[in-house]
Structure 1
Amino acid sequence: MLKSFHQSRKDPDNELVHLYEIRDALSNKFGSKQNAINKLGTIKYEWDELGKLANDPRIKQARHRGKSAGALRDASTTELDKARKSAQLLIEKYLEYLSTEVSPLFSLP
């Protein structure tokens, strides 16, 4: 997930594709979108927002670009900011999950 987030900044032509990979990783980890949302908590809005932007066929940086009639457009700064913030929250929620669900390798006295 961190690699995808980093790659999204290095590859702006495919930024939304890389950010969507974070969602995919969580779906795969938990077996489904719903399981991921249930385990990670209040992320449904961010999950859906990232999906909506990354799957918009009218946006050049999206996963399904060019599958709609008409010219493609660049994602707006606002859209990219929303997608980045949503992806960042998904990562943060996963890290919180790991800190509570995974037992430590050792315990401190």
Structure 2
Amino acid sequence: MTVLRWIGWLLAAGAAAALGSEAVAWLLTGSYEVQTLGRVWRALDPGGPAALAVAAETGPPWAYPLAATVLRLPAWAVLGVPAVALVWAAGARRLRAAPEAASSVSAPPDP
């Protein structure tokens, strides 16, 4: 579960960077513009969204509308929701395991 928690924190860092990018752009330009996942992905890998579109067009009929919808969502939301879920799930499992570990420790015997 440690790996899932780390992946969650990496996604959270990406979401924070995307949100910070939106905030800085808003402060500099005075107008708010959403940084979509497609725009961020295109900035990191110019051919990435196009390759996904080709793959989605050749796939099942629901794949292209789903891919197009996800690419139009804010990057901070697409990264932040799974981040919160992963960190919470990994942390909740650790908290559930803690009482078991505490109950396995026996108290010292009375003299």
- What TM-score does the superposition give when structure 1 sets the normalisation length? 0.36
- What TM-score does the superposition give when structure 2 sets the normalisation length? 0.36
Between the two structures, name the one with larger relative contact order (CA 8 Å, sep ≥ 6): 2
Which structure: greater helix fraction?
A: 2
Structure number with greater Rg is 2
